[in-house]
């Protein structure tokens, strides 16, 4: 079966090419997947913007209203890293709905990926760190609220700690948050996940994969998980501009295979989101993000 992929052209908010946030990675990722025959038209889904009611499950109502009205206070826009104009606002609503849709497809097909998402620094009260809405937290709470799932696991392997997800889900016992990240990286003030593993600068493939291999059985053994959200941030790569770890292409691919294989071999539905990745060479960056889809396709 082809891999279920969720995408929308509006994921690209059209930033200038020299912007610190490499917005053009979204269309380039889809182009990369199309060229490799991974974006089967019959398995491509397009989200509608997320209804405010979903967003308010995870975020303060006044912040949601501010984003939708493009009236986010400047102080918060500075923390996010860009102004929230109409395209950024729409993009945040689309990308969040994309993860909800991918999660539903994962429940039906076993595995699905959103070609965006992983905005894990957005906290309940506001966005931060290039993240406007926290798509994985919204999707977790939306699925729990509609009764489609009872236990949700979040495996966040972006190089940055998943502070926003931890903040939003800290009082939700049905969701378990796991973050493995670079110890000395953003955010300076981390918010404790249910399980955090902080790695030293320069951690390479072997130490990284060994650590992960030891943790995955503990995670899957805890409970019967109805779904796992996997944030496959590629900023762990040695050539990432913001990461401080030292994974190679081979290490990254082995990571995707380890995580996806672990949960799929146990029958746990998996929803993949792309997470962070920062490089001035955006085609190479898009190829790095494509590894999630290439590996996931082998389990579809």
Per-residue mark of binding to Zn ion, 14-53 (x: CB under 5 A):
----------------------------------------
Measured from the CB of residue 243, what is the shortest distance to Zn ion in angstroms?
7
DSSP string for 160-225: S--HHHHHHHTT-TTEEEEEEEETTSSPSS----SEEEEE-TT-BHHHHHHHHHHHHHHHHHHS--
Measured from the CB of residue 224, what is the shortest distance to Zn ion in angstroms?
30
Q: Which is nearer to Zn ion, 282 or 300 (CB)?
A: 282
The token pair at 35 is 């060229």
Q: Which is nearer to Zn ion, 47 or 243 (CB)?
A: 243
Q: Which is nearer to Zn ion, 205 or 235 (CB)?
A: 235
Q: Which is nearer to Zn ion, 104 or 237 (CB)?
A: 237
Q: Is the dihedral of CA 33, 38, 42, 47 positive or negative?
A: negative
Q: By the 8 A CB rule, do 16 and 125 touch? A: no
The verdict on 235 binding Zn ion (CB under 5 A) reads yes
Interface stretch with Zn ion, choices 62-70, 215-223, 272-280, 283-291 (CB under 5 A): 272-280
The verdict on 277 binding Zn ion (CB under 5 A) reads no
Measured from the CB of residue 1, what is the shortest distance to Zn ion in angstroms?
30
Q: Which residue is at the shortest CB distance from Zn ion? A: 276
The token pair at 3 is 């891999």
Q: Is the dihedral of CA 193, 121, 294, 211 positive or negative?
A: negative
User: In terms of DSSP bridges, do strands 175-182 and 152-156 run parallel, antiparallel, or are they unpaired?
Assistant: parallel
Measured from the CB of residue 276, what is the shortest distance to Zn ion in angstroms?
3
Single out the residue of 49, 162, 164, 233 in contact with Zn ion (rule: CB under 5 A). Answer: 233
Measured from the CB of residue 25, what is the shortest distance to Zn ion in angstroms?
13
Closest-CA residue to 276 (of 96, 81, 25): 25
Please give the Cα distance from 226 to 228 (Å, whole number): 7
Q: How far is CA 296 from the centre of its chain?
A: 15
Single out the residue of 117, 127, 269, 276 in contact with Zn ion (rule: CB under 5 A). Answer: 276
- The torsion angle over the Cα atoms of residues 279, 72, 155 and 290, rounded to 10 degrees, is -40
Q: Which is nearer to Zn ion, 66 or 126 (CB)?
A: 126
The verdict on 123 binding Zn ion (CB under 5 A) reads no
Per-residue mark of binding to Zn ion, 134-163 (x: CB under 5 A):
------------------------x-x---
Note the residues at the interface with Zn ion (CB under 5 A). 158, 160, 233, 235, 276
């Amino acid at each position: 079966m082809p891999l279920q992929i969720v995408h929308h052209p509006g994921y690209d908010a059209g930033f200038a090419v020299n912007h610190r946030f490499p917005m053009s990675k979204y269309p380039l990722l889809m182009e990369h997947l199309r060229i490799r025959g991974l974006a089967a038209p019959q398995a491509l889904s397009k989200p509608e913007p997320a209804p405010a009611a979903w967003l308010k499950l995870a975020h303060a109502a006044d912040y949601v209203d501010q984003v939708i009205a493009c009236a986010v206070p400047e102080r918060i826009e500075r923390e996010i890293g860009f102004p929230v104009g109409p395209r950024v606002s729409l993009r945040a609503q689309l990308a969040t709905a994309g993860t909800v849709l991918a999660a539903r497809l994962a429940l039906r097909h076993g595995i699905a990926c959103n070609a965006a998402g992983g905005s894990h620094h957005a906290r309940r009260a506001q966005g931060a760190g290039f993240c406007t809405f926290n798509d994985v937290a919204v999707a977790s709470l939306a699925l729990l609220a509609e009764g489609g799932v009872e236990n949700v696991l979040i495996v966040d392997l972006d190089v940055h700690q998943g502070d926003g997800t931890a903040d939003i889900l800290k009082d939700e016992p049905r969701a378990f948050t796991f973050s493995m990240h670079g110890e000395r990286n953003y955010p300076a003030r981390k918010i404790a996940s249910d399980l955090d593993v902080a790695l030293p600068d320069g951690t390479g493939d072997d130490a990284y994969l060994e650590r992960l291999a030891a943790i995955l059985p503990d995670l899957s053994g805890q409970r019967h998980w109805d779904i796992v959200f996997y944030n496959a941030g590629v900023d762990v790569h040695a050539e990432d501009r913001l990461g401080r770890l030292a994974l190679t292409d081979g290490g990254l691919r082995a990571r995707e295979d380890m995580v996806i294989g672990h949960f799929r071999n146990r029958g746990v539905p998996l929803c993949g989101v792309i997470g962070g990745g920062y490089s001035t060479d955006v085609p190479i960056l898009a190829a790095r993000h494509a590894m999630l889809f290439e590996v996931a396709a082998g389990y579809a």
